Amino acid sequence: MITLIIYMLIIRKDIMDNTILKQLLTEYDSKRMHALEDLENRKKTLRESSAEYVQLEKNLQSLSLDSLKSMLSLSSEEKEKKLKSLQEKTDKITSEKAMLLKKLNLPQDYLLPHFDCSLCKDTGYLDNSLCSCIKQKLYDIEYNKSNIGNIRTENFDNFNFDIYSDEPNPSLYHSQFSPRENIKKIYDISQKFVKNFDSPDEKNLMFLGPTGLGKTFLSNCIAKEILDSGKTVLYQTAPVMLDSIIKSKFEKNSSTILENILSVDLLVIDDLGTETMNSMKFTELFTIINTRLLNQSAKITKTIISTNLDLKDIFTVYNERIGSRIVGDYNICRFFGDDLRLKK
């Protein structure tokens, strides 16, 4: 009876996943059709207002028809020459269209479909695999919006250095730098992380420091840039992430959750150190950190860990294997200063 219930739960989860994917693909079909309809409407408007555009369209159609007819009777060598000539004439008409758009004060993409995703063109697929845009939507559904809902406001463009003190306090902060100088260094490290994300030599990031110093804000800044580049991001607190993995194992549904955590392009683990640890969670945490580090030869995956713990506490709270992995393969960024929440 228990085996039957487990089997039914697995089947039910698979059906739910397929249903969600089908719903998303239906939405994508609708978005794509809408984008193409909008394009046709823009073309119609341009035809009604510009005789020059109408003539350019006729020239292109005529060129295509004439070339198609003549190609039927040509040899392979002659076809190659004809295709080259056709391309040159097509490029000329395309250039004339661009000049016309500029003259009419219209954007250069006016005669192109405006898809939400420039990679898959709102098909949901890229090279016979799911596009990163639809993978991200699946992550968002599976993990309740991936906890990255604030990236529209919390991004590099809105980062304010002035809220950090410019007064050094070596006795308090154990650093010769002021909080402002320090955050500028961390900011530069974060931007370098984004720029070199696809390099296996670029280290992961660990943000250390008390609450209220901008660790989550800066994580969101990075997450937005990675999302905008067409990659996937999963943002979870350590307690929720580890509890969900343990729970899924007892429900015989560990594969999807753990696979997503291990394979997502950028994994942000927030609040490390606030979870209640046991031997199973130690094992899962090490598996996540270690596997994502070893992924680099097959697929570039990066991780950001944010914690209120000091570096020495990492070795105290966790075991030597986890601590040494973090120290050896993460760029450690220590945040210090006054609680920024008190300045609002």
Distance CA 304, CA 322 (A): 14
Q: Which amino acid is at 136?
A: Q
What is the per-residue pLDDT across 189-220, written as a single tens digit (0 to 9) for each? 999 999 999 998 899 999 999 999 999 899 98
Averaging pLDDT over each range in 13-27, 61-75, 240-254, 272-286, which range is the top one? Answer: 272-286
Distance CA 279, CA 70 (A): 75
Distance CA 65, CA 128 (A): 32
Q: What are the residues facing 263 on neighbouring strands?
A: none
**pLDDT over 60 at 251, yes or no:** yes
Confidence band of 11 (pLDDT split at 50, 70, 90)? very low
Q: What are the residues facing 125 on neighbouring strands?
A: 130
What is the per-residue pLDDT across 290-327, written as a single tens digit (0 to 9) for each? 889 887 667 889 999 999 988 888 888 887 888 888 88
**pLDDT over 60 at 261, yes or no:** yes
Q: Which amino acid is at 137?
A: K
**pLDDT over 60 at 1, yes or no:** no
Confidence band of 5 (pLDDT split at 50, 70, 90)? very low
**Given the DSSP bridges, would you call strands 125-126 and 129-130 parallel, antiparallel or unpaired?**
antiparallel
Distance CA 332, CA 98 (A): 49
**pTM for the whole thing?**
0.67
Location of structure tokens 């370098």: 192
Q: List the beta strands (DSSP E) in 83-183.
A: 125-126, 129-130
Give me the DSSP letters along 290-307.
HHHHHGGGTS--EEEEEE
Query: Which residue intervals of the chain bear CATH 3.40.50.300?
Result: 143-343
Using CA atoms of 281, 282, 283, 288 in order, give the dihedral in degrees to the nearest 10: 90
143-343 is a CATH 3.40.50.720 domain: no
What is the per-residue pLDDT across 63-115, written as a single tens digit (0 to 9) for each? 777 666 666 666 677 777 777 878 888 889 889 999 999 999 999 999 999 99
- Residue 152's pLDDT is 63
**How far apart, in Å, are the Cα atoms of 71 and each of 67, 77, 83, 87, 90?**
6, 11, 9, 14, 16
- Which is nearest to 227 in space by CA: 289, 129, 145, 318? 145
Hey, how many other C-beta atoms are within 10 angstroms of the C-beta on 243?
15
**pLDDT over 60 at 233, yes or no:** yes
